[in-house]
Amino acid sequence: MRVDAVTLFPGMIDGPLSESIVGRARSEGFLELGFVNPRDFTEDRHRTVDDKPYGGGTGMVMMAEPLYRALKKVRKRGSCVILLTPKGSKFDQAAAVELSKKKHLVFICGHYEGVDERVTPLADLQLSIGDYVLTGGEPAAVAVIDAVTRLIPGVLRKSDATVNETFGDGLLEAPHYTRPAVWRGKKVPEALLSGNHRLIAQWRLEQAQALTSAERPDLAKPAKKKAGVAKAAKH
Ligand code: 6GU
């Protein structure tokens, strides 16, 4: 998969995504990650990318033209362009699965107070990673690219690793334990030591169900209809 990020701060994305599993996915060619900086598409001496908002107010707004030119540089036919904004639809595992099927994703990372509203129609999709405010779209791009990359076939070594995990089946995962069997007086649950695979599967399902209804009862409810990634990305 190819991913490009339109960002004033490529290091905020490149750094975190050079480590661990995503870093390996990049060096093995599962993920090709590129960057394009709107500042490189300015023409004034100060390479201005932001300006004061019309109508007044605090903060600065990212100007449309440098973003437009940067996007034009990387967008191809069939690219899925995603604007990262706290006003977007909430990113979740189902959205990650849909995005993992695309050939080319382009993320537009807003900074300052946001982007000129006139660039928003250039995006197929607007995504938020949660109800809190970040300084910019870059940490959100890292989260989305991470969640998508691990779903690319071959990135995770165990093929079933993305099926039985949290959210894969709409449940939080059962707790995990590793050696020693007793740690500072705390024992590993008996079922996990039994060697009986049916018993273990049963225990894990019960734990997952109990945990989900206690901590995330919203997940157990039938899925609400919402803006689907696959549908929105067709435009
Ligand atoms: Cl995508 N961007 C910003 N700036 N803040 C956010 C966000 C995105 N998602 C949650 N908060």
Other beta carbons less than 10 A from residue 104's beta carbon: 17
Helix (H, G, I), strand (E, B) or coil at 1: coil
* Most ligand 1 atoms within 8 A of CB, residue of 112, 134, 142, 145 to mutate: 134
Helices 20-27 & 138-149 angle (0-180, nearest 10): 70
**Dihedral of the CA atoms 200, 202, 205, 209 (nearest 10)?**
-130
Cα 168 to ligand 1 centroid, rounded to whole Å: 24
Cα 17 to ligand 1 centroid, rounded to whole Å: 18
Residue 140 beta carbon below 6 angstroms from any ligand 1 atom: yes
Q: Give me the CATH code for the 2-149 domain, please.
A: 3.40.1280.10
Residue 59 beta carbon below 6 angstroms from any ligand 1 atom: no
Beta strands in the chain (DSSP E): 2-6, 32-36, 50-51, 61-62, 80-90, 104-109, 125-128, 182-183, 186-187
* Most ligand 1 atoms within 8 A of CB, residue of 128, 135, 144 to mutate: 128
* Most ligand 1 atoms within 8 A of CB, residue of 84, 92, 107 to mutate: 84
Residue 128 beta carbon below 6 angstroms from any ligand 1 atom: yes
* Most ligand 1 atoms within 8 A of CB, residue of 89, 90, 129, 138 to mutate: 129
Q: What is the pLDDT of residue 112?
A: 82
Question: Are 70 and 37 in contact, with CB atoms under 8 Å apart?
Answer: yes
d(CA 145, CA 111): 18
CA angle 169, 172, 175 (to 5 degrees): 125
Kindly list the distances between the CA atom of residue 46 and the CA atoms of 40, 41, 108, 113, 115, in Å, as whole numbers in the listed order: 11, 12, 22, 20, 19
Residue 130 beta carbon below 6 angstroms from any ligand 1 atom: yes
Q: What is the pLDDT of residue 233?
A: 44
Residue 134 beta carbon below 6 angstroms from any ligand 1 atom: yes
Please, where in the chain does CATH 3.40.1280.10 lie?
A: 2-149
User: Using CA of residue 175, residue 178, residue 180, residue 181, what is the dihedral sign?
Assistant: positive
| Per-residue pLDDT reduced to its tens digit, 149-208 | 999 999 998 755 666 577 878 999 999 999 999 999 999 999 999 999 999 999 999 999
Residue 108 beta carbon below 6 angstroms from any ligand 1 atom: no
Cα 131 to ligand 1 centroid, rounded to whole Å: 8
**Residue nearest atom 7 of ligand 1, based on CA coordinates:** 86
From the list 215, 145, 204, the residue with the least C-alpha distance to 173 is 204
Taking 50 as the pLDDT cut, the residues of the chain under it are 231-235
Helix (H, G, I), strand (E, B) or coil at 89: strand
Helix (H, G, I), strand (E, B) or coil at 80: strand
pTM comes to: 0.93
